[in-house]
Chain A
Amino acid sequence: MPQLWWYLALSAVLFTIGVVGVIIKRNVIAMFMCIELMLNAVNLTFVAFSSFFQDINGQLFVFIVMTVAAAEAAVGLGIIITIFRNRESLDVDDASILKL
């Protein structure tokens, strides 16, 4: 029977991998995907607690988080496309100064 702390440990590991990904990767789309990984790790924590404490509020919050993540994905990718059009490169190091 998987215990609560198993799910929390998995969520911590996934979150850490996401943080490492955001720091290491240079491609801006890959960084965005690691941010989504972090959001999912937090979702797993919410659902695990909601299940073990028989409380529906965790799952409702996960619903809202997923919707917000979808909106953020749309706008974030729009920004990425615009940056790519102007700078012709998806490397974050090339976008580190404000001048085009």
Chain B
Amino acid sequence: MLALLFIIFAGMAIGCAVAVVAQRNPLYSAISLIGVFISLACLYVMLAAPFIAAVQVIVYAGAIMVLVVFVIMLLNVEEEERRRPRLKFLVPVAIGLAAVLVAETSFIMYSVRFSPFTPTENVSNTGLTSQIGTGLFTTYLLPFEITSVLLLMAIVGAMTLTRRSASLSPTARIVPGTQILAMDILTPGSSENLTAVETDTTTEAALLLGVKPRQAPEEDEEI
């Protein structure tokens, strides 16, 4: 019974993992990756680790992949187009190295299976939440605190990286005539302040924005 469940969940995990690699549309890859995470959570439950399974669903499938899906939607990512593979001579080398890798992995599996030290039953109750809590706050207290600092660094880093800079992108051009700009472009983050800045000439607008004006009257402004 457990072997059947293992085969089902493992098959789902491998199928979704192959779909992650084989799909050209990155949104489908993301959905397949969510499938991998959920089937891995089911495998963790079979391995008597219910807390880790729940944390896997909450953190990986529920937070990280939501972030990835948001980024894919906001950046409007296109499908990859096919292209013919370059460096065709590397394919036999890849097959040879893959054969070596498969041989090494099979040797490890063989020695794990027939080793006298490998336990055969996994009737365990090691995954209780109380045990994880005890370990996390006694033995692993320092990694726990360092991880919290790491998360703070990640928050600050993500906010700093995606903040729009105060100047326009280098591909922006300025059209002569009246420009109405929102204060949000001049000082990013002041989104409550929607007063407009009206200028008459390109030089004044350029001075305000800090870019060089160009003589390109018939092209659109691109921000």
Residues of A in contact with B (beta carbons under 8 Å apart): 1-10, 12-14, 16-18, 20-21, 24-27, 29-30, 32-34, 36-37, 40, 43-44, 47-48, 50-57, 59-60, 62-64, 66-75, 77-82, 84-86, 90, 100
Contacts and interface: CB of A to CB of B under 8 A. Distances in A.
Interface stretch (B70-78, B184-192, B194-202): B70-78
Nearest to B5: A2
Contact of B51 (A34, A54, A59): A59
Q: Quick one: which of A1, A30, A66, A73 has the most chain B CB within 10 A?
A: A30
4 closest A-B pairs by beta carbon, nearest first, are A71-B154, A78-B161, A21-B21, A51-B47
Given A56-B131, A66-B60, A69-B60, A81 B161 contact: yes
B21 A47 contact: no
Nearest to A40: B40
Given A70-B59, A78-B157, A10 B14 contact: yes
Q: How extensive is the interface on chain B, given as a class?
A: 35 or more
A17 B72 contact: no
Contact of A27 (B26, B36, B155, B169): B26
Contacts of B55: 63, 66
Contact of B151 (A30, A59, A67): A67
Main secondary structure of the interface of B (DSSP, over half): helix
B136 A60 contact: yes
Given A26-B80, A70-B59, A73-B64, 17 more contacts: A7-B47, A37-B17, A37-B33, A37-B36, A47-B44, A47-B52, A51-B122, A59-B126, A60-B139, A66-B59, A69-B64, A74-B158, A77-B68, A77-B71, A78-B161, A82-B162, A90-B77
B46 to A, nearest CB: 7
B143 interface: yes
A71 B150 contact: yes
Nearest to B140: A60
B118 A4 contact: yes
12 contacts: A1-B3, A1-B122, A8-B112, A10-B13, A37-B33, A43-B40, A51-B126, A54-B126, A63-B55, A74-B157, A74-B158, A79-B161
Contact of A36 (B13, B33, B108): B33
B209 interface: no
Contacts, number: 204
A60 B18 contact: no
Contact of B135 (A2, A32, A43, A57): A57
Given A52-B119, A60-B135, A74-B154, A4 B30 contact: no
A9 B126 CA distance: 22
B86 to A, nearest CB: 11
A56 B26 CA distance: 36
B150 A33 contact: no
A1 B13 contact: no
Nearest to A4: B118
B150 A68 contact: yes
